[in-house]
Amino acid sequence: MSSFPDATALIDRLQPDQPVTLNRPHAAHRAARHFVEHFPGKSLYAVKANPSPELLSHLWDAGITHYDVASIAEVRIVAETLPEAVLCFMHPVKTREAIREAYFTHGVRIFSLDSEDELTKIREATNDADDLTLCVRIRVSSEHAELSLAAKFGAVGDEITPLLQESRQVADTLGICFHVGSQAMTPHAYVQALERVRAAIVDASVTVDIVDVGGGFPSLYPDMTPPPLRDYFGIIDRTFESLPISYSAELWCEPGRALCAEYNSLIVRVERRRGHELYINDGAYGALFDAAHIGWRFPVKALGNDDEHYIEFSFFGPTCDDLDHMAGPFLLPESIRAGDYIEIGMIGAYGAAMRTAFNGFGDTLQFDVEDAPMASLYDGSQTGLLSADNVISFSR
């Protein structure tokens, strides 16, 4: 893959007429090394955040050996890309066919569940295998996260004790897992969840071999400045050590966004300006799904425009759909016009994963670049984004 020093150098040379995804392998490597070296347990990359085979390989090279897969398609992608990786099928509701193929074809032995029906499926699809690691997912609060994941999955109330006890009878290794939501903005989210784990273990009186704190580890965006990741790691470690578990129990986590957000940015071209609205060549059905549908703010900068007077813009994507709209606001030079290019940062998490071919759009070029991402939790500063004029408050 061709490489450029930065987005400006790429634009100067290519003048692309379609969106360009910029890959920063060094940023993914740095994020992975941070988790490998500082998280007090095992880190599983959540493949759903960005299933790029190139990214999977970069993370493997940086020391990530376990991968959280949520579908048989993700199982196949990782198995093909990284034959030696450990695959953890962490979707709590799977088809029997997917479980069977994962177990017998791809060697998957780690499965999540949140119901007795799922436990029955796993037993039947694996022919009552005796080498299973089963992680029972319990529901916890998402009140401290920007995006809730508290409604769809997780055993609750009186369901938890019998499910843990029955899973213990089936599993060679038993775990408890949860998800505090995406972009958790305080380490306290994990303390609350781990206290739920404590109560579940005591009530069920079972030996638990794994505690998996799931994902939710944040990245840095406009108006979203989380504490350093080491604060999360420290409080998780202390709370885990106080749980009623054996000295040999393992601590796991499933970072997605935190490992891949800084890996990608996006170059788009302005095709039309209508007042404070910019028509660009990517959008809600491409890499900017989150900007359109949940109002996610991404950092932006105009390439090759030195105008220091910034005003607020919204974006329209290239499709015929009115829903192809990113409200922002995005602060850009007042003089921006059709033909100008914009770099949109921090789209490595869920950007590539959400891209479609709706309305005939969806093609994108890809190149590696060597410069730093537009924001980072791994450079020790947490600055850059915070001092930019691109900070506008919003609420959801």
Tokens of 237: 């470690």
Checking DSSP bridges between strand 264-274 and strand 341-344, what pairing results, if any? antiparallel
Pairing of strands 182-184, 145-147: antiparallel
Report yes or no: 217 and 181 within 8 Å, Cβ to Cβ.
no
Q: Can you say how many angstroms the Cα of residue 40 is from the centroid of all Cα atoms in its chain? A: 20
Helix residue ranges, H only, the chain: 7-14, 25-38, 53-61, 72-81, 96-104, 116-125, 160-170, 188-204, 229-241, 257-260, 289-293
Catalytic residue among 88, 135, 177, 320: 320
* Partner residues linked to 68 by β-bridges: 46, 88
Instruction: Output the six-digit token pair for 263.
Output: 């890996």
The torsion defined by the Cα of 286, 292, 295 and 299, in degrees rounded to 10, comes to 50
Q: Which amino acid belongs to residue 82?
A: L
Half-sphere exposure of 160 (CA within 13 A, CB side): 24
CA gap 105, 159 in Å, rounded: 32
* Contact yes or no for 273/336 (Cβ under 8 A): yes
Structure letter (DSSP) for residue 145? E
Our answer to whether residue 320 is catalytic in this structure is yes
Q: How far is CA 392 from the centre of its chain?
A: 23
Rg of the chain on CA atoms, in Å: 22
- Strand-pair category, 277-280 with 264-274: antiparallel
Range 231-236 contact pairs with CB under 8 angstroms and sequence separation of 24 or more = 231/187, 232/184, 232/187, 232/190, 233/38, 233/39, 233/40, 234/187, 235/187, 235/188, 235/190, 235/191, 236/40, 236/187, 236/190, 236/194
The number of beta carbons lying within 10 Å of the beta carbon of residue 179 is 28
List residues with catalytic annotation.
320
